[in-house]
């Protein structure tokens, strides 16, 4: 059975970049990004409100402190 990959899961995706960098467990990608983005707060907010979640916000809407530190460190 093929995977239903979220249309926003690409090189611009904060979740993909974090996963590729080894900072995000594969369960997040499997449960949300490879599940068509179902129940993904990031996707829902973007599509309904045009709001782009910071890269440290997880698909369930929680802030990941480790990701936040990584994202903010890259911005310097």
Evaluate if residue 38 carries a pLDDT over 80. yes
Q: What is the pLDDT of residue 76?
A: 65
Angle at 64 between CA 52 and CA 61, to 5 degrees: 50
Which residues does 65 contact at the CB level (< 8 Å), separation at least 6?
56
Give CA separation, 8 vs 2, 15, 72, 75, in Å.
17, 10, 22, 22
Which structure tokens are listed for 69? 């530190």
Percent of the chain with pLDDT over 90: 91
Evaluate if residue 21 carries a pLDDT over 50. yes
- What is this structure's pTM? 0.86
Residue 6 · residue 32 · CB < 8 Å: yes
Evaluate if residue 1 carries a pLDDT over 60. no
Which residues does residue 41 pair with via DSSP β-bridges, in sequence order? none
């Amino acid at each position: 059975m093929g995977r239903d990959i979220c249309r926003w899961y690409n090189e611009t995706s904060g979740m993909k970049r974090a996963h590729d960098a080894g900072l995000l467990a594969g369960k997040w990608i499997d449960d949300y990004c490879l599940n068509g983005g179902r129940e993904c707060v990031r996707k829902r907010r973007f599509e309904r409100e045009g709001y782009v979640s910071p890269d440290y916000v997880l698909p369930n809407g929680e802030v990941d402190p480790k990701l936040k530190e990584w994202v903010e460190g890259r911005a310097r």
